[in-house]
Amino acid sequence: MVGLLEGARRDAGLSQGELARLAQTSRTTLSAYENGRTSPTLTTAARVLSACGFVLAATRQVRRGLLRGRAAWPTHAAASRAWSPASARPG
């Protein structure tokens, strides 16, 4: 997460104070995220990135391997399906 939030903020042309206000957090907390002193939850990271005009997304890797005659997905594939924004859920 270190570098991602700061890069998004800079790309959006926002100061830490401006982004903190838009993302409904404090400038001190945002600074801690950007400097790796603490990590945001996925919900918070999505909110901060959204305020910068970005979307936090997880994608499944499309590569397949063969393991003892069975198709095998990378171990992170199941985790990549675990989180999705509420707006992306069917219903």
Regarding pTM above 0.75, the answer is no
What stretches of 2-89 show up as alpha helix (H) in DSSP? 4-11, 16-22, 27-34, 42-51, 77-82
Give the pLDDT confidence score for residue 86 in this predicted structure: 47
Whole-number mean pLDDT of the chain? 81
CATH of domain 4-51: 1.10.260
DSSP reduced 3-state for 67: strand
- Residue 32 clears pLDDT 80, i.e. is over it: yes
Q: What is the pLDDT of residues 5-22, one digit of tens each?
A: 999 999 999 999 999 999
Residue 85 to residue 91: CA distance in whole angstroms? 13
CB 28 within 8 A of CB 21: no
